[in-house]
Structure 1
Amino acid sequence: MSTVELSAGTIDYTDSGDGPVLVLLHGLMMDGSLWDDMVSELSADHRCVVPTLPLGAHRHGMNAGADLSLPGIAALVGEFLERLDLRDVTLVGVDTGGALVQLLMTGDQKRVERAVLASCDAFDNFPPGLTGRTLVAGGRLPPRAFGLFMQQMRLKPVRRLPIAFGWLTKRGDASAKRWMRPVLTRPEIRRDTVRVLRAAAADRRFLIPVAERLPGFERPALVVWASEDRVMPPEHGRRLAELLPQGRLVEVEDSYTLLPLDQPGRFAALIREFVRE
């Protein structure tokens, strides 16, 4: 694990392999370990750079004045690309990470060569599903009370509920359990998470104008969607692919939203084929 000091604070990241650069972005209440199985596969012939963003499972408290709205975190990813001087990047995002990728696709594209959107927040689906709405509602609590509210996530039966991770992954409960540790044990992480959730609640329609700008992304784009997704509507995958001038849709069976946990081999193969093309 490496660290980099950005304007918002310290960010952990992993950087492994050599070849075309992949930057892999996780979702809310997750960390970079979401991508571990795929990095093991892809780092044989790609450089895989995976930041852990301040989305609730990070390990360093952010600066008091940091912008922790999703547009602010997308800008932080752009700063991360600049600081590491990453070029000709393939951006890959799932869940809320896909919303961040959309923001970057419609902003400064000078370091972005391709984009992969995988089962992610889009259009009016924000916050997405029961999980997103429950989290955003919890964010109205003070950080200490939010921590008490999240204590129930220590229990596997609670984590497997539709309001938690039950509709996000079929096979990834061990990862979900690990992602809960920072918010359960660190006051500064609870503070940051509440700030993220309150910013999300303040602008629930921000992805609609973003979608309107997606046709301006004229570089190769792959949309990968879980055909059984119960949080991110499969119809949104089709709509995103149609909006993108070079968009292509692939649907993956036997997976919920978190394809890197449920179908890492299949997802990795699709990315390898996409970059090779």
Structure 2
Amino acid sequence: MLRTFGRIVGGLVLVMLVLGAVFYLRPLWVSDQLLRFKMWRQGVKNGYVTLEGHRIHYVEAGPANGKPLLLIHGLGSRIEDWAELIPRFAGAGYHVYAPDLLGYGRSEQPRDSDYSIGVEEQVVVQYMDAMQLRQPDVLGWSMGGWIAMRIAVDHPLRVRRLGVYDTAGLYFPVDFSFDSFTPKSVDQVADLLRVLEPVPAKLPDFVSRDVVRKAASSGWVTERSIHAMTIGRELMDFRLDGLKQPTLIVWGKQDHLIPLETGVRLQQLVPQARLEVVDGCGHLAPRECPVPVFEATKEFLASEPATAGGRREWPR
């Protein structure tokens, strides 16, 4: 009896040591698995579709007959960054579709792509065709907002209403190093967090080292995207007169990456746009402040006629 008990205890200790070692060496992988399990428990379903010969990962959630809602993530991001909003929209009756862009998340990473905004726009439009999305509401975050605006301008009949969160796509003065997006040291991870978060978290060194390791393996995709974006040929500043859909702009008031002034200028260029500012949040507002972001978006998507113009501020 004692021998059996000792074996059980020894086995449990060994399992705990192995799990601890895995978490120490690959904390981001462990975090991803836990987040994916949580999303699965909330009814989020995974799928793959082949577009132009490339395997694209996506998720769906919500009632089959719900209003279609398409979410487009940003630079260096993936579907899981929508984890706070997908269940909320699904619970509000929307059928949510969210692809990992080409090169990101669990989608394929072809070596011959430049991962430009134009390339990603084509991928999303092809995804819409594959899912038979005729005229969904489209929400884009950061680089995803840039892609969403391009789709709305290039394919105006494909977008019912448009929402962008802390969106890229307009010119603004840059006072940070693009190297931070593919950090090569623990210090550069800290630099990235200072840009992304109003009150940057202090990550343990073992987590920061895993961020550096991950950037070393897949950061080349982000670097190509940044190179394509910084050339400037795809900026939207002089194309926004073609954006006619009801439009929502949501911005973190303390966004240090793309400042609020850019959102204000975007509203000036798109007269029908509504601006919602979330105080206490930075560039990651949909993840940091999901409640006000969701409430503002839900109200906009449901309004009849569509809410137009004006500015409102939300507490965190």
TM-score by length of 1: 0.79
Q: What residue number does 2:58 align with?
A: 13
Letter in 1 for 2:70: V
Distance in 1 (CA, whole Å) between partners of 2:296 and 2:56 is 28
The DSSP-based 3-state class of the residue aligned with 2:176 is: helix
- Are the counterparts in 2 of residues 225 and 250 from structure 1 also a CA contact under 8 Å? yes
Point out where structure 2 has 5 or more consecutive residues left out of the alignment. Answer: 1-45, 304-316
Q: What residue number does 2:100 align with?
A: 52
| Equivalent runs, 1:98-117 vs 2, <5 Å | 98-117=145-164
Whichever of the two has the greater Rg, that structure is: 2
Q: What residue number does 1:160 align with?
A: 190
Select which of 221, 227, 230 maps to 2:253: 227
Deviations 1:220-272 (A, max 9, x none): 10111111112212122122122224211111111001111111111111111
Q: Could you say if the C-alpha distance between residues 110 and 8 of structure 1 is closer, same or farther in structure 2, counting changes exceeding 3 Å?
A: farther
1:242 and 2:264 equivalent? Answer: no
Deviations 1:177-207 (A, max 9, x none): 7x94884474xx3453443333334x13531
Q: What residue number does 2:297 align with?
A: 271
Q: What residue number does 1:196 align with?
A: 225
The DSSP-based 3-state class of the residue aligned with 2:98 is: strand
Q: Could you say if the C-alpha distance between residues 182 and 70 of structure 1 is closer, same or farther in structure 2, counting changes exceeding 3 Å?
A: farther
Letter in 2 for 1:263: C
Q: Could you say if the C-alpha distance between residues 104 and 33 of structure 1 is closer, same or farther in structure 2, counting changes exceeding 3 Å?
A: same
Q: Could you say if the C-alpha distance between residues 123 and 22 of structure 1 is closer, same or farther in structure 2, counting changes exceeding 3 Å?
A: same
1:4 and 2:49 equivalent? Answer: yes
Distance in 1 (CA, whole Å) between partners of 2:200 and 2:105 is 18
1:206 and 2:254 equivalent? Answer: no
Letter in 2 for 1:52: D
Q: CA deviation at 1:63?
A: 3.1
Q: Could you say if the C-alpha distance between residues 43 and 191 of structure 1 is closer, same or farther in structure 2, counting changes exceeding 3 Å?
A: same
Letter in 1 for 2:156: Q
Give % identity. Answer: 22
Q: What residue number does 1:130 align with?
A: 176
The DSSP-based 3-state class of the residue aligned with 2:298 is: helix
How many residues end up aligned between the 2 structures? 251
Q: What residue number does 1:32 align with?
A: 79
Q: Could you say if the C-alpha distance between residues 158 and 86 of structure 1 is closer, same or farther in structure 2, counting changes exceeding 3 Å?
A: same
- Are the counterparts in 1 of residues 180 and 188 from structure 2 also a CA contact under 8 Å? no
Distance in 2 (CA, whole Å) between partners of 1:160 and 1:63 is 30
Q: RMSD over aligned Cα, in angstroms? A: 2.9
Q: CA deviation at 1:171?
A: 7.7
The DSSP-based 3-state class of the residue aligned with 1:242 is: helix
Q: Could you say if the C-alpha distance between residues 5 and 205 of structure 1 is closer, same or farther in structure 2, counting changes exceeding 3 Å?
A: same
TM-score by length of 2: 0.70
Point out where structure 1 has 5 or more consecutive residues left out of the alignment. Answer: 139-149
